[in-house]
Amino acid sequence: MKYKLMAIDVDGTLVNDSGELTELTRVALLRAQEEFGIRLIIASGRPLAGLRGIAQELQLERYSGYLMPFNGGEVYNCRLANPIAQASLGSETIASLYDLAQEHGLNILTYTSEDEIISECIDDPYLQLEVGITGMKPRQVVDFVAANPSSRPKCLIVGPSERIEALEPIAQERLAGRVNVFRSHPSFLELVPWGVHKASSISQLVDRLGYTAEELIAVGDSFNDLEMIQYAGLGVAMANAKEAIKSCAEYVTLSNNEDGIAHLLNKYIFTPREDVPYTIEEINSIVPGTLMDSLGIRCTAISRGYVEGTMPVDKRTRQPMGILHGGANLAFAETMAGLGSVALLEEGEIQVGMQVSGNHISSAIEGDMMRAEARIMHQGRSTHLWSVEIYSLKSGKLIHTARILNSILKRR
């Protein structure tokens, strides 16, 4: 596969306008990691505390993913639970940034290692907007400069969008060579160490991991994503991105409110599979009155050597205590493998189940939905061996694994 890494912005890209990581996007990213070995880099202007929840939802510790808070000012290895690179603004620079904000009548804030946002004015509605995005606690200080005697990863000047827009070129000229200045939001002026941006940190990480830029997909929507989109082998803009960002991207996916990340993965990562003689509708039309019907099993995707399906956890498939019955998983797995073998049969052949073995990895409770993925491991003249993995759609956890051996016979 050409692509091995994927760098994704958060606000306006990974999450929707309500700040939510949708189930469709989350499951797609878990599949990209689990099935296709894609390593994720979550690159955002947010502080580290504002990214930890996303790391948990996407299981970045399990899949050796990375967080890049502060627009690349820090690179955090999720498996090691430790930063591997950091850059910061010195106390003298912070004092200069404070003076700049004061001159223009705007509020300035920064972040502490105790997951706090500190500012002289914490009632500022624009500061509260950042609090809502990051989930960090605000702490008011009397003297901003005195409260920052050592280095900080980033400062943020906040205020009305028109005043922030007017300040941006002034700040860029005044701070050139010392501080990188750019907007990540109409009301946020980002202030990070000179030379620090998402692309520079991603480039260093790509080199460190032994990959190339051509193996990277980068996705974003705003000006702080521009360099990484231009750097990547496949630079992608969201449909909701600024026009200047779209013009630099190789591909424009759907918006963040339309699961644009999932759409992108379907197009570039989840490769097309060879068709089979039956449609999903035809397969599901024969379900009524069968065990599949009794358990609520439905086929959702099928191609040569690959089958997907769903099964609910409800009164038909649960144990008396409300958790999924292991026998239902075995029936689900054998059904998916059986459908897969039928799609591979030559004229005059039939298939019958020969051996089933399974492992119960985790549990699921009533109200969940199971998703099975069946892949052929061996296609011989007389046998088909299938591997089936069953996941929870709610948690993304692996629930069950199975091996199914089907016998291929001549019809008599």
Active site residues: 334
Q: Alpha-carbon distance 320 to 314, whole Å? A: 11
Q: Alpha-carbon distance 58 to 131, whole Å? A: 22
Q: Alpha-carbon distance 162 to 135, whole Å? A: 26
Backbone φ and ψ of 96, nearest 5°: -65, -40
Q: Alpha-carbon distance 117 to 245, whole Å? A: 30
Joined tokens for residue 131: 């609090």
DSSP bridge pairs for 402: 358, 388
Secondary structure (DSSP) of 213-245: GGGEEEEESSGGGHHHHHHSSEEEE-TTS-HHH
Q: Alpha-carbon distance 16 to 39, whole Å? A: 22
Paired sense of beta strands 398-410 and 383-392, if any: antiparallel
Largest Cα separation within the chain, whole Å, is: 91
Q: Is 39 helix (H, G, I), strand (E, B) or coil?
A: strand
Q: Which residues have C-beta within 8 Å of that of residue 215, sequence separation ≥ 6? A: 2, 3, 4, 5, 206, 233
85, 95 Cβ separation under 8 angstroms: no
